[in-house]
């Protein structure tokens, strides 16, 4: 166990005042829940939830060679971006293993923002510097940003009431940088039409010192819409219902984008990038394992590390993420299984071995809750 003291996000005081249950996560003290995971989960699906995700990392990439640097760094094709557009991608090592998954924002032709996972900030930063042969200007701005996620059907109404900004004009994976007079008098805010819940919503980047102002304004404006502050617990159940991968569980350096179902963000027809040769070979021959989603058919909650078996009880893989779906009221999960249609095709029957107990499940393509 690390002796390093936990960091606090800029919203720590707000969490304490709201009575949040705080837990260590990726080196930070983070709210896991306020009123309860199921309560918060349903609020996001039906009204709106407000998340503190300020623990995420942000790296600024600027200069005339910024795009060339990012193109070599990640699997997706950055040349498709234009000002105000973002994309999701993987960042691989030379063996094709996933170092991290991230968002890339194009602010201008020579100015990009990379948003990386909290637990990977130090490793990602070292890898970026090591691979900066294009001599782009890299600045780790993780400590300078506050990041809030406003998610759920009422999120646009709440944002407009709180700030006057109409997010409905933004297309999915697009963003805007409103003038200060159009967003609570604050400079440097990014309103991004993105999220990790499977619901309509926005992610709001701001100066760390301004995060409490944005948080308080949104919670106040959202009261009539049923907004709830929402913790990491519901963030995990929401993302899993939607079939979104969690780095460190469903994807890692031990897995590649092809087997993880991220071939859609792996553009093998673009110029060379880290891991391209290995990934091209895997794509050609087919991966040995494949990430699948599944729904449990009887009482039982799948958990990370549980064994996945075929109907005869032979081991075919392992659960990477699992939970009880608040919407379905049954167990759901994801895991890697042998890349064989009898195990990977939707409708395939598998079973989960949990500490000696066996429960059956059906392979199903996420999202599970729709």
* CB 189, CB 177: distance < 8 Å: yes
Residue 265 per-residue DSSP state = G
183-to-144, 242, 297, 333 alpha-carbon distances in Å: 19, 30, 48, 39
Final residue belonging to a domain, choices 206, 241, 276: 241
99 within domain boundaries: no
352-to-330, 359, 368 alpha-carbon distances in Å: 14, 5, 18
18 shares its domain with 159: yes
Final residue belonging to a domain, choices 186, 221, 241: 241
Report the C-alpha gap between 38 and 48 in whole angstroms. 13
What is the average pLDDT value for the chain, to the nearest integer? 97
Kindly list the strands in the beta sheet with 57-62, ordered across the sheet, starting from the edge strand earlier in the chain: 85-92, 98-108, 111-116, 57-62, 137-140
Report the C-alpha gap between 50 and 205 in whole angstroms. 13
CATH, residue 297: 2.40.30.110
359 shares its domain with 234: no
289-to-13, 255, 258, 294 alpha-carbon distances in Å: 45, 9, 9, 15
The answer for 152, left when phi > 0, alpha when psi is -120 to 50, beta otherwise, is left
Report the C-alpha gap between 197 and 199 in whole angstroms. 5
Residue 5 has pLDDT above 80, yes or no: yes
pLDDT in tens, 11-69: 999 999 999 999 999 999 999 999 999 999 999 999 999 999 999 999 999 999 999 99
pLDDT band of 2, cuts 50, 70, 90: low
Report the C-alpha gap between 305 and 45 in whole angstroms. 28
Final residue belonging to a domain, choices 241, 268, 298: 241
184 shares its domain with 294: no
317 within domain boundaries: yes
Terminal C-alpha separation, the chain: 40
pLDDT band of 225, cuts 50, 70, 90: very high
215 within domain boundaries: yes
* Total domains present in the chain: 2
For residues 122-130, give the mean pLDDT. Answer: 98
- CB-based contacts of 53: which residues, under 8 Å, 6+ apart? 147, 148, 149, 203, 235
- Give the distance from CA 2 to its chain's centroid: 25
Q: Which domain holds residue 353?
A: 288-365
104 within domain boundaries: no
pLDDT of residue 181: 84
pLDDT in tens, 236-288: 999 999 999 999 999 999 999 999 999 999 999 999 999 999 999 999 999 99
Candidates 250, 363, 217, 273; CA nearest to 74 is 273
The enclosing H or E element of 347 equals none
Candidates 226, 50, 20, 234; CA nearest to 148 is 50
Cβ neighbours of 73 (radius 10 Å): 25
pTM for this predicted structure:
0.97
227 shares its domain with 297: no
80 within domain boundaries: no
Report the C-alpha gap between 331 and 359 in whole angstroms. 10
335 shares its domain with 212: no
CATH, residue 165: 3.30.1360.120
pLDDT in tens, 322-341: 999 999 999 999 999 999 99
For residues 147-170, give the mean pLDDT. Answer: 98
223 shares its domain with 153: yes
12 shares its domain with 148: yes
Instruction: Specify the higher pLDDT residue, 179 or 117.
Output: 117
Beta strands in 76-195 (DSSP E): 85-92, 98-108, 111-116, 137-140, 145-151, 175-176, 190-192
249 within domain boundaries: no
Report the C-alpha gap between 174 and 82 in whole angstroms. 10
44 shares its domain with 193: yes
The enclosing H or E element of 126 equals helix 121-130
133 within domain boundaries: no
* CB 132, CB 60: distance < 8 Å: no
229 shares its domain with 304: no
What are residue 129's phi and psi, to 5 degrees? -65, -40
Candidates 278, 236, 235; CA nearest to 257 is 278
300 shares its domain with 236: no
303 within domain boundaries: yes
49 shares its domain with 173: yes
pLDDT of residue 180: 79
* CB 319, CB 334: distance < 8 Å: yes
Residue 3 has pLDDT above 80, yes or no: no
33 DSSP β-pair partners: 21
* CB 298, CB 360: distance < 8 Å: yes
Please classify residue 209 by burial: count the beta carbons closer than 10 Å to its beta carbon, then call 0-12 exposed, 13-18 middle and 19+ buried.
Answer: exposed
31 shares its domain with 149: yes
């Amino acid at each position: 166990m690390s002796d390093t003291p936990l960091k606090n996000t800029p919203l720590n005081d707000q969490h304490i005042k709201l009575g949040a249950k705080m837990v260590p996560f990726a080196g930070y003290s983070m709210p896991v829940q306020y009123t309860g995971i199921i309560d918060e989960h349903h609020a996001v699906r039906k009204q709106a939830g407000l998340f503190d995700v300020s623990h995420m990392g942000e790296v600024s990439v600027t200069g005339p060679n910024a795009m060339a640097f990012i193109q070599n760094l990640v699997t997706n094709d950055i040349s498709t971006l234009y000002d105000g557009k973002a994309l999701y991608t993987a960042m691989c090592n030379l063996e094709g293993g996933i170092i991290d998954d991230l968002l890339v924002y194009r602010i201008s032709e020579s100015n990009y923002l990379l948003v990386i996972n909290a637990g990977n900030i130090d490793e990602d930063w070292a890898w970026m510097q090591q691979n900066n042969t294009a001599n782009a200007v890299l600045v780790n701005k993780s400590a300078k940003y506050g990041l809030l996620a406003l998610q759920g059907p009422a999120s646009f109404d709440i944002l407009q009431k709180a700030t006057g900004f109409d997010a409905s004009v933004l297309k999915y994976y697009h963003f805007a940088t409103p003038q200060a007079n159009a967003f609570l008098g604050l400079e440097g805010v990014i309103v991004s039409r993105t999220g990790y819940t499977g619901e309509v919503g926005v992610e709001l980047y701001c100066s760390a010192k301004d995060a409490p102002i944005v948080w308080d304004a949104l919670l106040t404006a959202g009261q009539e819409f049923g907004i709830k502050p929402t913790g990491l617990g519901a963030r995990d159940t929401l993302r899993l219902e939607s079939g979104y991968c969690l780095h460190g569980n469903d994807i890692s350096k031990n897995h590649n984008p092809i087997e993880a179902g991220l071939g859609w963000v792996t553009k093998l027809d673009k110029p060379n990038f880290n891991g391209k040769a290995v990934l091209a070979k895997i794509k050609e021959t087919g991966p040995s394992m494949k990430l699948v989603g599944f729904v449990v058919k009887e009482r039982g909650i799948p958990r990370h590390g549980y064994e996945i078996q075929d109907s005869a009880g032979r081991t075919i893989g392992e659960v990477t993420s699992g939970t009880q779906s608040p919407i379905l009221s049954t167990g759901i999960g994801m895991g890697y299984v042998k890349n064989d249609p009898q195990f990977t095709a939707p409708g395939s029957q598998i079973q989960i071995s949990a500490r000696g107990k066996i429960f059956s499940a059906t392979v199903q393509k996420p999202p599970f809750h729709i």
